[in-house]
Amino acid sequence: MHELTLVQSMITKISESAAIQGIQHISRINLVNGKFSGANTEALLLAFSLFKDIPLFKNAALEIEEPEIIAMCNSCHKEFIVEAYLFRCAYCSQNNVKIASGQELYINYYEGE
Amino acid sequence: MPKIDLVAGLLDANEMLAEQNRTLFKQSKVFTVNLMGVPGTGKTSILEKIISSLKDKLLIGVVEGDLYTTTDAERIEKLDVPTVQINTKGECHLDAGTVRKACLDLPLHQIDLLFIENIGNLVCPAEFDLGENARLMVISVTEGNDKPWKYPLMFRRADAIIVNKTDLINYTDFDLKQFTEDMTNINQAAKIFPASATTSSGISDIADWLYKKIKKQAK
Ligand SMILES: Nc1nc2c(ncn2[C@@H]2O[C@H](COP(=O)(O)OP(=O)(O)OP(=O)(O)O)[C@@H](O)[C@H]2O)c(=O)[nH]1
Ligand SMILES: [Mg+2]
Ligand SMILES: [Zn+2]
């Protein structure tokens, strides 16, 4: 359950930023968790619930977006969505492809006052 | 209500430390291998065999990651190579900072090849870059053919996969041809080495592959 470590890092980053911005209550957090980041969205939500007794996060809703895995073919150079972890070009069917996105895991924005 | 665009990665801290490790390894001219796989798949056994096979040609060092025990480090120390134990006390993966600390206890400048045996786990270690030059994964024939599809991140990020315990293959339903086909679809670039730490079959191929990579890097 390394999601706890990840959420801990999220809490630290937002707390630091909120202190600078003079924000005392966070209402919403938008997190981007690519489908190939390795972190599980359910586990992130569960881990976040453990931090709800911190006043800053008491009323915070955590929204998590899950962008698709996008790969680019090294032969025909087209981009395609990777379905079911099949790393094979959707246009020319060869397997020499590189991941363009879908591995990201970051705090996009938060709202509060 | 104010909206703050933070755009901060949750793994930023680890990535920064991994980058520092990469610089340290490069300056010290060490080739570093992150060894991963489920508990009991044979990581330490394979490591013992690779060390015996390369010991005369290279100075090898080992960082042993384990939740609580020091048994793996004790096994490796018997081979007379510098070894450091990390106990993560429950953490399911090694991270770049912990590895950095462990490296301070090793004669890094003398070492040519550093192995880091990660915690037995196919999920979490995949995400934590340690600053390594190669990711070596061990899977054994007793684990079943479905593992690449269940743990695609780990299999996608591996540079080479050792299929261990092939001495037992006739007692299992493991299908090496199917595994190779599946791996083509998940990670075409990965090398696949069928092996057995018990009979030493396939060990010299792994050792040769590593040796070539190290020589290439050193140029
Ligand atoms: N038959 C057979 N047994 C093996 C082979 N390789 C390892 N084993 C056995 O598998 C068991 C686990 O091996 P280890 O090398 O300790 O596995 P590990 O992956 O390092 O385990 P952890 O560090 O605890 O995660 C031991 O009893 C080994 O003797 C093999 O090729 N064939
Ligand atoms: Mg071991
Ligand atoms: Zn193509």
pLDDT in tens, B50-90: 999 999 999 999 999 999 999 999 999 999 999 999 999 98
Q: Which of A1, A36, A106 sits opposite B7 (nearest CB)?
A: A106
The shortest C-alpha distance from B184 to chain A (Å) reads 7
With cut-offs at 50, 70 and 90, classify the pLDDT of residue B219.
Answer: confident
Q: Which of A18, A37, A95 sits opposite B185 (nearest CB)?
A: A95
For A69-110, what is each residue's pLDDT tens digit?
A: 999 999 999 999 999 999 999 999 999 999 999 999 999 999
A107 contact B CB<8A? yes
Tokens found for residue A27: 């209402």
| Residue A41 domain boundaries | 2-68+102-112
Instruction: For residue A78, report the distance from its CA to the centre of ligand 3, in Å.
Output: 6
Q: Could you tell me if B138 and B164 are in contact, meaning their C-beta atoms sit under 8 angstroms apart?
A: yes
Q: Within a domain: residue A42? A: yes
Residues B14-24 have a mean pLDDT of 97
Q: Within a domain: residue A73? A: no
The shortest C-alpha distance from B6 to chain A (Å) reads 5
What are the φ/ψ torsions at residue A73 (nearest 5 degrees)? -75, 135
Cβ of B156 within 8 Å of Cβ of A109? The answer is no
CB-based contacts of A110, cutoff 8 Å, min separation 6: A14, A17, A18, A26, A28, A29, A30, A60, B3, B4, B6
Q: Looking at residue A49, which CATH number applies to its domain? A: 3.30.2320.50
Atom of ligand 1 nearest to the CA of B39: 25
Tally of domains within chain A: 1
B15 contact A CB<8A? no
For B111-144, what is each residue's pLDDT tens digit?
A: 999 999 999 999 989 999 999 999 999 999 999 9
Q: Is the pLDDT of residue B218 over 90?
A: no
- Please state the pTM of the whole predicted model: 0.95
Enumerate the domain spans of chain B.
2-218
Residues A20-47 have a mean pLDDT of 97
Report chain B residues whose CB lies below 8 A from the CB of A87. Answer: 156, 185-188
Q: Within a domain: residue A80? A: no
The shortest C-alpha distance from B98 to chain A (Å) reads 14
How many Å apart are CA A1 and CA B90, to the nearest integer? 10
A102 contact B CB<8A? no
Cβ of A96 within 8 Å of Cβ of B188? The answer is yes
H or E stretch covering A60: none
Residues A26-30 have a mean pLDDT of 98
User: How confident is the model at residue A1, as a pLDDT?
Assistant: 65
For B36-52, what is each residue's pLDDT tens digit?
A: 999 999 999 999 999 99
Burial group, residue B176, by CB count within 10 angstroms (0-12, 13-18, 19+): middle
How many Å apart are CA A55 and CA A75, to the nearest integer? 53
Q: Within a domain: residue A91? A: no
Q: Within a domain: residue A46? A: yes
Q: Within a domain: residue A87? A: no
Selected residues 89-148 of chain B with any CB under 8 Å from a CB in chain A: 91-93, 123-124, 126-128
Instruction: For residue B154, report the distance from its CA to the centre of ligand 1, in Å.
Output: 20
The residue whose two tokens read 């041809």 is B177
Cβ of A38 within 8 Å of Cβ of B153? The answer is yes
Residues A39-60 have a mean pLDDT of 96
Least confident of A1-10, A80-89, B102-111: A1-10
- Please give the mean pLDDT across all residues of chain A: 97
Residues B182-189 have a mean pLDDT of 98
CB of B44 sitting under 6 A from ligand 1? yes
Residue range B2-218, CATH number:
3.40.50.300
